[in-house]
Chains A and B, each alone.
Chain A
Amino acid sequence: MKWLLALVFVVCGCAPKAVEPPGSVAGQVKFAGQVAKAVVIDMEQDPQCKKLYPEAPREEQTVVVGPEGTLANVFVYVKSGLEGKKFEAPKTAVKIDQKGCWFEPRVTGMQAGQALQVTNSDPVTHNIHPEAKVNREWNQSQAPEDGPLSRKFVQPEVMIRVKCNVHKWMRSWIGVVEHPFFAVTGGDGGFEFKDLPVGTYKLVAWHEKLGQQENTLVVTSGVKARLDFSFNGQ
Protein backbone atom coordinates (compact mmCIF):
# COMPACT_ATOMS: atom_id res chain seq x y z
CA MET A 1 0.00 0.00 0.00
CA LYS A 2 2.74 2.39 0.94
CA TRP A 3 4.44 1.55 -2.32
CA LEU A 4 1.31 2.29 -4.23
CA LEU A 5 0.76 5.62 -2.54
CA ALA A 6 4.32 6.57 -3.20
CA LEU A 7 3.90 5.66 -6.87
CA VAL A 8 0.77 7.79 -7.22
CA PHE A 9 2.65 10.74 -5.76
CA VAL A 10 5.51 10.27 -8.16
CA VAL A 11 3.15 9.97 -11.13
CA CYS A 12 1.26 13.09 -10.18
CA GLY A 13 4.43 15.04 -9.61
CA CYS A 14 5.91 14.07 -12.97
CA ALA A 15 2.86 14.33 -15.16
CA PRO A 16 3.13 17.15 -17.72
CA LYS A 17 1.43 20.25 -16.44
CA ALA A 18 -1.84 20.63 -18.29
CA VAL A 19 -2.13 23.92 -20.23
CA GLU A 20 -4.70 26.03 -18.49
CA PRO A 21 -7.49 27.26 -20.69
CA PRO A 22 -6.87 30.88 -21.60
CA GLY A 23 -8.73 33.89 -20.39
CA SER A 24 -9.63 37.05 -22.17
CA VAL A 25 -9.82 40.79 -21.68
CA ALA A 26 -12.24 43.37 -22.92
CA GLY A 27 -12.49 47.05 -22.26
CA GLN A 28 -13.32 50.45 -23.50
CA VAL A 29 -11.35 53.60 -24.15
CA LYS A 30 -12.99 56.84 -23.13
CA PHE A 31 -12.20 60.48 -23.50
CA ALA A 32 -13.06 62.89 -20.68
CA GLY A 33 -11.80 66.21 -21.99
CA GLN A 34 -12.92 68.94 -24.34
CA VAL A 35 -12.82 68.04 -27.99
CA ALA A 36 -10.98 70.65 -30.02
CA LYS A 37 -12.58 72.02 -33.17
CA ALA A 38 -11.88 70.12 -36.35
CA VAL A 39 -9.19 71.61 -38.57
CA VAL A 40 -10.08 72.50 -42.15
CA ILE A 41 -7.61 70.90 -44.52
CA ASP A 42 -6.23 73.09 -47.29
CA MET A 43 -5.65 70.88 -50.29
CA GLU A 44 -4.02 73.65 -52.34
CA GLN A 45 -1.06 71.38 -53.11
CA ASP A 46 -3.25 69.36 -55.41
CA PRO A 47 -6.31 70.94 -57.03
CA GLN A 48 -7.48 67.48 -58.10
CA CYS A 49 -7.73 66.50 -54.42
CA LYS A 50 -9.64 69.68 -53.68
CA LYS A 51 -12.14 68.79 -56.41
CA LEU A 52 -12.97 65.60 -54.55
CA TYR A 53 -14.72 67.76 -51.93
CA PRO A 54 -17.06 69.94 -53.98
CA GLU A 55 -19.50 70.70 -51.13
CA ALA A 56 -17.13 71.65 -48.33
CA PRO A 57 -13.42 71.18 -47.66
CA ARG A 58 -12.34 68.08 -45.80
CA GLU A 59 -11.92 68.53 -42.07
CA GLU A 60 -9.55 66.68 -39.84
CA GLN A 61 -10.57 65.58 -36.36
CA THR A 62 -7.73 63.77 -34.67
CA VAL A 63 -9.72 63.13 -31.46
CA VAL A 64 -12.77 61.20 -32.62
CA VAL A 65 -15.24 60.84 -29.75
CA GLY A 66 -18.53 58.96 -29.76
CA PRO A 67 -21.77 60.20 -28.13
CA GLU A 68 -20.96 58.45 -24.86
CA GLY A 69 -17.42 59.73 -24.62
CA THR A 70 -15.89 56.71 -26.31
CA LEU A 71 -12.62 57.28 -28.12
CA ALA A 72 -11.87 55.93 -31.59
CA ASN A 73 -8.57 55.35 -33.40
CA VAL A 74 -6.80 54.10 -30.31
CA PHE A 75 -4.28 51.32 -30.82
CA VAL A 76 -4.52 48.94 -27.86
CA TYR A 77 -1.97 46.14 -27.61
CA VAL A 78 -0.19 43.77 -25.27
CA LYS A 79 3.21 45.33 -24.71
CA SER A 80 4.74 42.65 -22.50
CA GLY A 81 3.93 39.29 -20.98
CA LEU A 82 4.03 37.19 -24.14
CA GLU A 83 7.80 36.87 -24.32
CA GLY A 84 8.97 33.49 -25.60
CA LYS A 85 5.68 32.70 -27.29
CA LYS A 86 5.53 32.45 -31.07
CA PHE A 87 2.56 33.55 -33.12
CA GLU A 88 2.51 32.97 -36.84
CA ALA A 89 1.67 36.00 -38.95
CA PRO A 90 -1.76 35.80 -40.63
CA LYS A 91 -1.77 34.99 -44.33
CA THR A 92 -4.30 37.71 -45.06
CA ALA A 93 -3.06 41.19 -45.85
CA VAL A 94 -3.86 44.31 -43.90
CA LYS A 95 -5.16 47.04 -46.19
CA ILE A 96 -4.65 50.76 -46.42
CA ASP A 97 -6.46 52.67 -49.14
CA GLN A 98 -5.63 56.14 -50.38
CA LYS A 99 -9.04 57.57 -51.03
CA GLY A 100 -10.21 61.16 -51.13
CA CYS A 101 -6.56 62.17 -50.70
CA TRP A 102 -6.80 60.60 -47.27
CA PHE A 103 -5.49 57.40 -45.74
CA GLU A 104 -8.18 54.88 -44.81
CA PRO A 105 -8.03 53.78 -42.07
CA ARG A 106 -6.32 56.33 -39.87
CA VAL A 107 -4.79 53.68 -37.60
CA THR A 108 -3.79 50.18 -38.62
CA GLY A 109 -2.61 47.28 -36.50
CA MET A 110 -0.74 44.32 -37.94
CA GLN A 111 1.61 41.51 -37.10
CA ALA A 112 5.30 41.53 -37.99
CA GLY A 113 5.72 39.60 -41.23
CA GLN A 114 2.11 40.12 -42.29
CA ALA A 115 1.56 41.70 -45.70
CA LEU A 116 0.45 45.30 -45.97
CA GLN A 117 -1.51 46.01 -49.12
CA VAL A 118 -1.77 49.62 -50.23
CA THR A 119 -4.24 50.73 -52.86
CA ASN A 120 -4.86 54.04 -54.60
CA SER A 121 -8.54 54.75 -55.31
CA ASP A 122 -7.86 58.38 -56.23
CA PRO A 123 -7.46 60.09 -59.60
CA VAL A 124 -4.11 61.50 -58.37
CA THR A 125 -0.64 60.12 -57.66
CA HIS A 126 0.21 59.30 -54.06
CA ASN A 127 3.54 58.38 -52.49
CA ILE A 128 3.07 56.44 -49.28
CA HIS A 129 5.97 56.87 -46.88
CA PRO A 130 5.99 54.94 -43.61
CA GLU A 131 8.64 56.69 -41.52
CA ALA A 132 9.82 53.49 -39.86
CA LYS A 133 12.69 53.69 -37.40
CA VAL A 134 13.12 50.04 -36.39
CA ASN A 135 11.99 48.59 -39.70
CA ARG A 136 13.30 49.78 -42.99
CA GLU A 137 11.95 53.16 -44.03
CA TRP A 138 10.55 53.23 -47.56
CA ASN A 139 8.35 55.24 -49.85
CA GLN A 140 6.55 54.25 -53.00
CA SER A 141 4.73 56.20 -55.67
CA GLN A 142 1.33 55.01 -56.86
CA ALA A 143 -0.17 56.64 -59.92
CA PRO A 144 -3.93 56.54 -60.54
CA GLU A 145 -5.04 53.09 -61.72
CA ASP A 146 -1.79 51.51 -60.53
CA GLY A 147 -2.39 48.14 -58.97
CA PRO A 148 -2.04 47.50 -55.24
CA LEU A 149 1.44 47.47 -53.76
CA SER A 150 2.44 45.01 -51.09
CA ARG A 151 5.10 45.37 -48.40
CA LYS A 152 5.99 43.85 -45.03
CA PHE A 153 7.39 45.09 -41.73
CA VAL A 154 9.50 42.33 -40.25
CA GLN A 155 10.14 43.83 -36.80
CA PRO A 156 7.64 44.95 -34.15
CA GLU A 157 7.37 48.73 -34.09
CA VAL A 158 4.78 50.87 -32.33
CA MET A 159 3.95 53.23 -33.94
CA ILE A 160 5.10 53.93 -37.47
CA ARG A 161 3.95 57.32 -38.69
CA VAL A 162 2.85 57.25 -42.32
CA LYS A 163 2.79 60.23 -44.60
CA CYS A 164 2.22 60.88 -48.29
CA ASN A 165 5.17 62.61 -49.92
CA VAL A 166 2.88 64.25 -52.46
CA HIS A 167 0.18 65.55 -50.09
CA LYS A 168 1.48 66.89 -46.81
CA TRP A 169 -1.83 66.71 -44.91
CA MET A 170 -2.18 62.94 -45.31
CA ARG A 171 -1.39 61.01 -42.12
CA SER A 172 -1.81 57.49 -40.91
CA TRP A 173 -0.29 55.26 -38.25
CA ILE A 174 0.69 51.62 -38.22
CA GLY A 175 1.32 49.55 -35.09
CA VAL A 176 3.34 46.39 -35.73
CA VAL A 177 3.46 43.74 -33.01
CA GLU A 178 4.65 40.13 -32.83
CA HIS A 179 1.32 38.63 -31.74
CA PRO A 180 -2.39 38.87 -32.50
CA PHE A 181 -3.35 40.71 -29.29
CA PHE A 182 -3.95 44.19 -30.62
CA ALA A 183 -6.94 46.22 -31.68
CA VAL A 184 -7.85 49.61 -33.06
CA THR A 185 -10.90 51.10 -31.39
CA GLY A 186 -13.89 52.08 -33.47
CA GLY A 187 -16.67 54.48 -32.58
CA ASP A 188 -17.65 52.47 -29.48
CA GLY A 189 -14.11 52.71 -28.05
CA GLY A 190 -14.18 48.98 -27.40
CA PHE A 191 -11.51 46.33 -27.69
CA GLU A 192 -11.30 42.64 -26.83
CA PHE A 193 -8.48 40.12 -26.81
CA LYS A 194 -9.79 36.55 -26.78
CA ASP A 195 -7.76 33.47 -25.89
CA LEU A 196 -5.08 35.35 -24.04
CA PRO A 197 -2.86 32.80 -22.24
CA VAL A 198 -2.96 32.93 -18.46
CA GLY A 199 -0.40 35.41 -17.20
CA THR A 200 0.39 38.96 -16.24
CA TYR A 201 0.47 41.54 -18.99
CA LYS A 202 1.14 45.13 -19.66
CA LEU A 203 -1.45 46.62 -21.97
CA VAL A 204 -0.94 49.92 -23.71
CA ALA A 205 -3.48 52.22 -25.29
CA TRP A 206 -1.93 54.64 -27.77
CA HIS A 207 -3.48 57.68 -29.37
CA GLU A 208 -1.79 59.88 -31.95
CA LYS A 209 -2.54 63.10 -30.09
CA LEU A 210 -3.36 62.08 -26.53
CA GLY A 211 -0.28 59.96 -25.96
CA GLN A 212 -0.30 56.55 -24.36
CA GLN A 213 -1.38 54.81 -21.19
CA GLU A 214 -0.14 51.58 -19.71
CA ASN A 215 -1.94 49.19 -17.36
CA THR A 216 -1.07 45.87 -15.80
CA LEU A 217 -3.54 43.04 -16.13
CA VAL A 218 -3.67 39.55 -14.66
CA VAL A 219 -5.41 37.03 -16.86
CA THR A 220 -6.77 33.95 -15.16
CA SER A 221 -8.06 30.83 -16.78
CA GLY A 222 -11.54 31.05 -18.28
CA VAL A 223 -12.16 34.51 -16.91
CA LYS A 224 -13.02 37.54 -18.97
CA ALA A 225 -11.11 40.40 -17.40
CA ARG A 226 -12.12 44.02 -17.78
CA LEU A 227 -9.72 46.86 -18.41
CA ASP A 228 -10.73 50.40 -19.37
CA PHE A 229 -8.61 53.34 -20.37
CA SER A 230 -9.50 56.96 -20.03
CA PHE A 231 -7.77 59.92 -21.67
CA ASN A 232 -8.49 63.34 -20.26
CA GLY A 233 -7.21 65.45 -23.11
CA GLN A 234 -4.39 67.14 -21.21
Chain B
Amino acid sequence: MKYLALVALTLCSCKQKLVEVPGPLGLPPLRVERVATADEIALGKKLFFDTKLSIDKTISCASCHNPETGFADARKVSVGVGGKTGKRNAPTVLNAAYWRVQFWDGRAGSLEEQAAGPMGNELEMNHKPELLMARLAADPEYGPMKLTLERVLFAIASYERTLLSGNSAFDRYTYGGDKTALSSEAIEGFKVFGRHCVICHTIGPKDALFTDEQFHNIGVGVNAEGVLVDQGRGKGEFRTPSLRNVARTAPYMHDGSLKTLKQVVDFYVGGGNSNDHLDSQIRPLDLSGRERDALVAFLESLNGVEAK
Protein backbone atom coordinates (compact mmCIF):
# COMPACT_ATOMS: atom_id res chain seq x y z
CA MET B 1 0.00 0.00 0.00
CA LYS B 2 2.82 2.41 0.82
CA TYR B 3 4.38 1.61 -2.53
CA LEU B 4 1.11 2.38 -4.27
CA ALA B 5 0.58 5.67 -2.44
CA LEU B 6 4.06 6.80 -3.33
CA VAL B 7 3.62 5.90 -6.99
CA ALA B 8 0.29 7.71 -7.12
CA LEU B 9 1.97 10.80 -5.65
CA THR B 10 4.73 10.60 -8.23
CA LEU B 11 2.24 10.38 -11.07
CA CYS B 12 0.06 13.21 -9.82
CA SER B 13 2.95 15.59 -9.26
CA CYS B 14 4.22 15.27 -12.82
CA LYS B 15 2.23 17.47 -15.10
CA GLN B 16 4.91 18.36 -17.57
CA LYS B 17 4.48 17.60 -21.25
CA LEU B 18 5.38 14.09 -22.30
CA VAL B 19 8.60 13.64 -24.23
CA GLU B 20 8.55 11.49 -27.36
CA VAL B 21 11.37 9.04 -27.89
CA PRO B 22 11.48 7.39 -31.33
CA GLY B 23 10.75 3.65 -31.31
CA PRO B 24 12.44 0.93 -33.39
CA LEU B 25 11.03 -0.10 -36.77
CA GLY B 26 7.41 -1.13 -36.35
CA LEU B 27 6.87 0.46 -32.96
CA PRO B 28 5.41 3.91 -32.29
CA PRO B 29 7.36 6.67 -30.51
CA LEU B 30 7.51 6.10 -26.78
CA ARG B 31 6.09 8.87 -24.64
CA VAL B 32 7.79 9.42 -21.32
CA GLU B 33 7.42 12.02 -18.60
CA ARG B 34 11.14 12.42 -18.29
CA VAL B 35 14.01 10.90 -20.22
CA ALA B 36 16.15 9.01 -17.75
CA THR B 37 19.88 9.61 -17.58
CA ALA B 38 22.35 6.89 -18.51
CA ASP B 39 23.19 6.53 -14.81
CA GLU B 40 19.55 6.03 -13.88
CA ILE B 41 19.13 3.38 -16.58
CA ALA B 42 22.32 1.64 -15.44
CA LEU B 43 21.04 1.67 -11.87
CA GLY B 44 17.72 0.27 -13.05
CA LYS B 45 19.46 -2.54 -14.91
CA LYS B 46 21.57 -3.37 -11.87
CA LEU B 47 18.48 -3.47 -9.67
CA PHE B 48 16.55 -5.53 -12.23
CA PHE B 49 19.12 -8.30 -12.03
CA ASP B 50 19.78 -8.01 -8.29
CA THR B 51 18.39 -10.68 -5.99
CA LYS B 52 18.83 -8.32 -3.00
CA LEU B 53 15.42 -6.97 -3.94
CA SER B 54 13.77 -10.07 -2.48
CA ILE B 55 13.52 -10.73 1.25
CA ASP B 56 15.75 -13.83 1.15
CA LYS B 57 18.03 -12.58 -1.64
CA THR B 58 17.01 -15.38 -4.01
CA ILE B 59 14.75 -13.65 -6.54
CA SER B 60 15.42 -10.76 -8.89
CA CYS B 61 13.09 -9.22 -11.48
CA ALA B 62 15.04 -11.24 -14.04
CA SER B 63 14.25 -14.50 -12.26
CA CYS B 64 10.79 -14.34 -13.78
CA HIS B 65 11.46 -11.88 -16.60
CA ASN B 66 14.43 -13.77 -17.93
CA PRO B 67 16.29 -12.25 -20.90
CA GLU B 68 17.13 -15.78 -22.05
CA THR B 69 13.43 -16.45 -22.61
CA GLY B 70 12.35 -13.11 -24.04
CA PHE B 71 12.17 -11.39 -20.63
CA ALA B 72 9.31 -13.72 -19.75
CA ASP B 73 9.12 -16.88 -17.65
CA ALA B 74 9.38 -20.25 -19.39
CA ARG B 75 7.60 -21.83 -16.43
CA LYS B 76 3.82 -22.11 -16.34
CA VAL B 77 3.68 -19.84 -13.33
CA SER B 78 6.60 -18.12 -11.62
CA VAL B 79 8.24 -19.27 -8.42
CA GLY B 80 8.80 -16.65 -5.72
CA VAL B 81 10.64 -16.69 -2.38
CA GLY B 82 10.46 -19.98 -0.49
CA GLY B 83 9.22 -21.80 -3.60
CA LYS B 84 5.85 -20.07 -3.48
CA THR B 85 3.90 -19.99 -6.72
CA GLY B 86 1.33 -17.60 -8.06
CA LYS B 87 -1.46 -18.40 -10.49
CA ARG B 88 -0.44 -16.42 -13.54
CA ASN B 89 2.28 -16.67 -16.15
CA ALA B 90 4.78 -13.79 -16.07
CA PRO B 91 4.37 -11.66 -19.20
CA THR B 92 7.38 -10.34 -21.10
CA VAL B 93 8.85 -6.98 -20.16
CA LEU B 94 9.77 -6.37 -23.80
CA ASN B 95 7.73 -3.39 -25.05
CA ALA B 96 5.87 -3.18 -21.73
CA ALA B 97 6.79 0.52 -21.79
CA TYR B 98 4.01 1.02 -24.31
CA TRP B 99 1.18 -0.43 -22.24
CA ARG B 100 -1.42 1.89 -20.85
CA VAL B 101 -1.78 -0.45 -17.88
CA GLN B 102 0.32 -3.32 -16.54
CA PHE B 103 -0.37 -6.87 -15.29
CA TRP B 104 -2.81 -9.37 -16.84
CA ASP B 105 -5.67 -7.60 -15.11
CA GLY B 106 -4.35 -4.08 -15.72
CA ARG B 107 -4.22 -3.18 -12.04
CA ALA B 108 -1.07 -1.04 -12.34
CA GLY B 109 -1.12 2.23 -14.25
CA SER B 110 2.61 2.53 -14.90
CA LEU B 111 5.82 0.54 -15.01
CA GLU B 112 6.84 2.13 -11.71
CA GLU B 113 3.65 0.91 -10.08
CA GLN B 114 4.12 -2.51 -11.67
CA ALA B 115 7.69 -2.78 -10.37
CA ALA B 116 6.46 -2.15 -6.85
CA GLY B 117 3.97 -5.02 -7.10
CA PRO B 118 6.22 -8.09 -7.05
CA MET B 119 8.55 -6.53 -4.46
CA GLY B 120 5.81 -6.38 -1.88
CA ASN B 121 3.89 -9.48 -2.99
CA GLU B 122 4.39 -12.26 -0.45
CA LEU B 123 4.35 -14.90 -3.19
CA GLU B 124 7.08 -13.11 -5.13
CA MET B 125 9.81 -11.01 -3.43
CA ASN B 126 7.93 -10.48 -0.16
CA HIS B 127 9.97 -7.42 0.76
CA LYS B 128 8.37 -4.59 2.72
CA PRO B 129 9.46 -1.20 1.29
CA GLU B 130 11.05 0.06 4.52
CA LEU B 131 13.07 -3.16 4.85
CA LEU B 132 14.18 -2.99 1.24
CA MET B 133 15.24 0.64 1.53
CA ALA B 134 17.09 -0.06 4.77
CA ARG B 135 18.93 -2.93 3.08
CA LEU B 136 19.91 -0.77 0.10
CA ALA B 137 21.01 2.09 2.38
CA ALA B 138 23.33 -0.28 4.26
CA ASP B 139 24.65 -1.86 1.08
CA PRO B 140 28.14 -0.72 0.02
CA GLU B 141 27.07 -0.61 -3.63
CA TYR B 142 23.80 1.27 -3.22
CA GLY B 143 24.31 3.11 0.10
CA PRO B 144 26.36 6.01 -1.24
CA MET B 145 23.62 6.77 -3.80
CA LYS B 146 21.20 7.73 -1.02
CA LEU B 147 18.31 6.11 -2.87
CA THR B 148 14.66 6.69 -2.27
CA LEU B 149 11.96 4.19 -3.16
CA GLU B 150 10.77 6.59 -5.81
CA ARG B 151 14.22 6.63 -7.42
CA VAL B 152 14.48 2.85 -7.25
CA LEU B 153 11.16 2.38 -9.03
CA PHE B 154 11.92 5.08 -11.59
CA ALA B 155 15.30 3.48 -12.31
CA ILE B 156 13.82 0.01 -12.83
CA ALA B 157 11.01 1.41 -14.99
CA SER B 158 13.53 3.47 -16.97
CA TYR B 159 15.62 0.40 -17.68
CA GLU B 160 12.48 -1.41 -18.77
CA ARG B 161 11.66 1.50 -21.09
CA THR B 162 14.87 0.66 -22.96
CA LEU B 163 13.67 -2.91 -23.57
CA LEU B 164 11.99 -2.13 -26.87
CA SER B 165 11.82 -4.87 -29.42
CA GLY B 166 10.81 -4.15 -33.01
CA ASN B 167 12.51 -4.61 -36.34
CA SER B 168 11.13 -8.12 -36.72
CA ALA B 169 10.76 -9.87 -40.08
CA PHE B 170 7.14 -8.71 -40.00
CA ASP B 171 8.28 -5.09 -39.42
CA ARG B 172 10.82 -5.20 -42.21
CA TYR B 173 8.15 -6.61 -44.54
CA THR B 174 5.33 -4.29 -43.51
CA TYR B 175 7.02 -1.05 -42.54
CA GLY B 176 10.53 -1.41 -43.96
CA GLY B 177 9.67 -2.13 -47.57
CA ASP B 178 11.54 -5.44 -47.61
CA LYS B 179 9.19 -7.79 -49.45
CA THR B 180 11.60 -10.68 -49.01
CA ALA B 181 11.52 -10.48 -45.22
CA LEU B 182 8.58 -12.90 -44.87
CA SER B 183 8.35 -16.43 -46.27
CA SER B 184 5.40 -17.21 -48.51
CA GLU B 185 3.94 -19.31 -45.70
CA ALA B 186 4.24 -16.41 -43.24
CA ILE B 187 2.57 -14.11 -45.79
CA GLU B 188 -0.30 -16.58 -46.06
CA GLY B 189 -0.46 -16.64 -42.27
CA PHE B 190 -0.49 -12.83 -42.24
CA LYS B 191 -3.66 -12.96 -44.39
CA VAL B 192 -5.32 -15.44 -42.04
CA PHE B 193 -4.25 -13.25 -39.12
CA GLY B 194 -5.83 -10.24 -40.84
CA ARG B 195 -9.15 -12.07 -41.13
CA HIS B 196 -9.42 -13.35 -37.57
CA CYS B 197 -6.82 -12.27 -35.03
CA VAL B 198 -6.20 -8.62 -35.85
CA ILE B 199 -9.46 -7.51 -34.23
CA CYS B 200 -7.80 -7.75 -30.83
CA HIS B 201 -4.11 -8.06 -31.77
CA THR B 202 -4.11 -4.82 -33.72
CA ILE B 203 -1.83 -3.71 -36.55
CA GLY B 204 -1.72 -0.02 -37.51
CA PRO B 205 -0.67 1.68 -40.76
CA LYS B 206 2.63 2.96 -39.33
CA ASP B 207 3.30 0.60 -36.46
CA ALA B 208 1.85 -2.37 -34.62
CA LEU B 209 1.53 -3.14 -30.94
CA PHE B 210 -0.46 -6.33 -31.63
CA THR B 211 -2.83 -5.51 -28.78
CA ASP B 212 -6.02 -3.50 -28.49
CA GLU B 213 -5.04 -2.83 -24.85
CA GLN B 214 -8.47 -4.13 -23.87
CA PHE B 215 -9.62 -6.97 -21.64
CA HIS B 216 -11.35 -10.06 -23.00
CA ASN B 217 -12.76 -13.28 -21.68
CA ILE B 218 -11.63 -16.05 -24.03
CA GLY B 219 -12.49 -18.88 -21.64
CA VAL B 220 -9.02 -19.97 -20.54
CA GLY B 221 -9.09 -22.05 -17.34
CA VAL B 222 -12.69 -23.23 -16.86
CA ASN B 223 -13.69 -25.71 -14.18
CA ALA B 224 -16.24 -28.56 -14.29
CA GLU B 225 -19.07 -26.07 -13.94
CA GLY B 226 -17.79 -24.07 -16.91
CA VAL B 227 -16.66 -21.22 -14.65
CA LEU B 228 -13.24 -19.58 -14.92
CA VAL B 229 -10.99 -20.46 -11.99
CA ASP B 230 -9.29 -17.05 -12.20
CA GLN B 231 -11.78 -14.27 -12.84
CA GLY B 232 -9.12 -11.75 -13.91
CA ARG B 233 -10.63 -8.30 -14.00
CA GLY B 234 -13.95 -9.53 -12.63
CA LYS B 235 -15.69 -11.54 -15.33
CA GLY B 236 -12.79 -13.60 -16.58
CA GLU B 237 -11.33 -10.86 -18.73
CA PHE B 238 -7.60 -10.51 -19.18
CA ARG B 239 -5.48 -8.00 -21.02
CA THR B 240 -4.84 -8.77 -24.68
CA PRO B 241 -1.10 -9.49 -24.72
CA SER B 242 1.04 -8.20 -27.56
CA LEU B 243 2.22 -10.92 -29.90
CA ARG B 244 5.64 -9.45 -30.48
CA ASN B 245 8.30 -12.04 -29.58
CA VAL B 246 5.54 -14.56 -28.93
CA ALA B 247 7.62 -17.45 -30.26
CA ARG B 248 10.23 -16.67 -27.58
CA THR B 249 7.82 -16.44 -24.67
CA ALA B 250 6.10 -19.82 -24.25
CA PRO B 251 4.05 -20.92 -22.40
CA TYR B 252 0.92 -18.97 -23.24
CA MET B 253 -2.27 -17.51 -21.79
CA HIS B 254 -2.66 -15.89 -18.37
CA ASP B 255 -2.29 -19.25 -16.63
CA GLY B 256 0.51 -20.53 -18.85
CA SER B 257 -1.68 -23.49 -19.76
CA LEU B 258 -0.75 -23.73 -23.45
CA LYS B 259 2.74 -24.87 -24.31
CA THR B 260 3.08 -24.19 -28.04
CA LEU B 261 1.85 -21.72 -30.64
CA LYS B 262 0.11 -24.61 -32.41
CA GLN B 263 -1.86 -25.24 -29.23
CA VAL B 264 -2.76 -21.56 -29.08
CA VAL B 265 -3.96 -21.57 -32.70
CA ASP B 266 -6.00 -24.73 -32.04
CA PHE B 267 -7.46 -23.16 -28.91
CA TYR B 268 -8.82 -20.29 -31.01
CA VAL B 269 -9.87 -22.59 -33.85
CA GLY B 270 -11.95 -24.45 -31.26
CA GLY B 271 -13.64 -21.27 -30.09
CA GLY B 272 -12.05 -21.22 -26.64
CA ASN B 273 -14.03 -22.56 -23.71
CA SER B 274 -17.68 -21.67 -23.33
CA ASN B 275 -18.61 -19.75 -20.18
CA ASP B 276 -21.16 -17.13 -19.14
CA HIS B 277 -18.98 -14.19 -20.09
CA LEU B 278 -17.17 -15.44 -23.18
CA ASP B 279 -16.30 -12.54 -25.48
CA SER B 280 -18.77 -12.47 -28.39
CA GLN B 281 -15.87 -12.29 -30.83
CA ILE B 282 -14.58 -15.70 -29.74
CA ARG B 283 -16.15 -18.42 -31.88
CA PRO B 284 -14.88 -21.49 -33.72
CA LEU B 285 -12.78 -20.70 -36.80
CA ASP B 286 -12.98 -22.72 -39.97
CA LEU B 287 -9.30 -22.95 -40.87
CA SER B 288 -7.60 -25.57 -43.02
CA GLY B 289 -4.52 -27.36 -41.75
CA ARG B 290 -2.40 -25.28 -44.11
CA GLU B 291 -3.89 -22.04 -42.75
CA ARG B 292 -3.24 -23.16 -39.18
CA ASP B 293 0.41 -23.89 -39.95
CA ALA B 294 0.72 -20.61 -41.85
CA LEU B 295 -0.59 -18.74 -38.84
CA VAL B 296 2.13 -20.28 -36.68
CA ALA B 297 4.74 -19.31 -39.30
CA PHE B 298 3.44 -15.73 -39.21
CA LEU B 299 3.59 -15.61 -35.41
CA GLU B 300 7.19 -16.81 -35.60
CA SER B 301 8.01 -13.80 -37.79
CA LEU B 302 7.22 -11.44 -34.91
CA ASN B 303 10.47 -12.06 -33.06
CA GLY B 304 12.06 -8.67 -32.68
CA VAL B 305 15.53 -7.33 -32.14
CA GLU B 306 16.14 -5.52 -28.89
CA ALA B 307 17.22 -1.92 -29.34
CA LYS B 308 20.76 -1.30 -28.17
A interface residues, Cβ below 8 angstroms from B: 43-47, 124-127, 129, 136-141, 143-144, 146, 149-152, 164-166
Contact A137 B284 (CB under 8 A): no
Known: A143-B257, A143-B263, A144-B263. A127 touches B270 (CB 8 A): yes
Identify 17 new A-B residue pairs, CB closer than 8 A, beyond the known A125-B263, A166-B270: A44-B288, A44-B289, A45-B287, A47-B289, A47-B293, A124-B266, A125-B266, A127-B269, A129-B284, A136-B226, A137-B274, A138-B226, A139-B273, A139-B274, A141-B273, A144-B263, A165-B271
Nearest CB in chain B to that of A152: its residue: B224
Secondary structure class of chain A's binding surface, majority of residues: loop
Complexed CA–CA distance, A12 and B192 (Å): 81
CB contact list, B269-288 vs A, under 8 A: 269-274, 284, 287-288
Query: Nearest chain B CB to A216's CB is how many angstroms away?
Result: 39
Check if B52 is an interface residue, CB within 8 A of chain A: no
Check if B65 is an interface residue, CB within 8 A of chain A: no
Nearest CB in chain B to that of A115: its residue: B224
Known: A46-B292, A139-B274, A140-B274. A165 touches B269 (CB 8 A): yes
Known: A138-B226, A141-B273, A151-B224. A125 touches B289 (CB 8 A): no
Nearest CB in chain B to that of A45: its residue: B289
Interface pairs (24), CB distance under 8 Å: A44-B288, A44-B289, A45-B288, A45-B289, A47-B293, A125-B266, A127-B269, A127-B270, A129-B270, A136-B226, A137-B274, A139-B273, A139-B274, A139-B284, A141-B266, A141-B270, A143-B258, A143-B266, A149-B224, A151-B226, A152-B224, A165-B270, A165-B284, A166-B266
Contact A143 B267 (CB under 8 A): yes
Contact A150 B224 (CB under 8 A): yes
Complexed CA–CA distance, A127 and B274 (Å): 10
Complexed CA–CA distance, A150 and B222 (Å): 11
CB-defined interface of B204-238 with A at 8 Å, one 1/0 digit per residue? 00000000000000010010101000000000000
Complexed CA–CA distance, A165 and B274 (Å): 12
Query: Nearest chain B CB to A228's CB is how many angstroms away?
Result: 40
In the complex, what residues of B have CB within 8 A of residue A140's CB? 222, 226, 273-274
In the complex, what residues of B have CB within 8 A of residue A164's CB? 270
Complexed CA–CA distance, A209 and B288 (Å): 27
Check if B259 is an interface residue, CB within 8 A of chain A: yes
Nearest CB in chain A to that of B270: its residue: A127
Contact B289 A141 (CB under 8 A): no
In the complex, what residues of A have CB within 8 A of residue B270's CB? 125-127, 129, 139, 141, 164-166
In the complex, what residues of A have CB within 8 A of residue B258's CB? 143
Complexed CA–CA distance, A138 and B226 (Å): 8
CB contact list, B85-115 vs A, under 8 A: none
In the complex, what residues of B have CB within 8 A of residue A125's CB? 262-263, 266-267, 270
Complexed CA–CA distance, A136 and B259 (Å): 30
